[in-house]
Structure 1
């Protein structure tokens, strides 16, 4: 996701990123790559950790890469996948919360959960 000044374009880019995360399997792949850190995982190790292999995993990684959330690099005979958009992931969360309670004036972080 690229930061742009137009609110409409930002909305479109956020929607595109969220659409890429709209699959339980893709969300699991991204979370696994985030846990692995910037060095990433080989496609084989990633598949073993998430329980997805072959063309299905390739399909999901491709969609995440098109959204700019992961990258793939060939290292020797291996393909390494890594989450590259840590700041963009944080920006997506901030995007969701940017207008939190704006219409009602509440402060969500002052609330305490009901026990």
Structure 2
């Protein structure tokens, strides 16, 4: 599987994923699922760990799933939620970090003129 570099990231996809993470509660959900690893957590356990339950958790999971960051699957009588886009999260982080100060290198004179 080819690993995309941060420079290859589609800005539309990145914007949608950043938007999905633009909520403190959704970020808490994703963080909890990333910590749980590929096995994921039941929706009940996820709710207990994040303090987000019911329709609010369903709403946040729908947004994260639409952005391709998490997935849900039925396992017997339980719904298992898991972070599925570990590479995407790394790419998003790399995108920000590689762009950081990219235009500042070697432009000390430009800063003095401000």
Match of 2:53 in 1: 53
Cα RMSD (Å): 1.8
CA apart distance, 1:100: 2.2
- Please state whether the residue corresponding to 1:39 is helix, strand or coil: coil
TM-score by length of 2: 0.83
The structure with the larger Rg is 2
Map of 1:44 onto structure 2: 44
- Normalising by structure 1, we get a TM-score of 0.82
Q: Relative contact order (C-alpha < 8 Å, sep 6+): which is higher?
A: 2
Gaps of 5+ in 2: 107-114
How many residue pairs get matched? 101
**In the TM superposition, what is the alpha-carbon distance from 1:12 to its structure 2 partner?**
1.1
> Hey, what does 2:72 align to over in structure 1?
72
Runs of 4+ in 1 over 2 A off after TM superposition: none
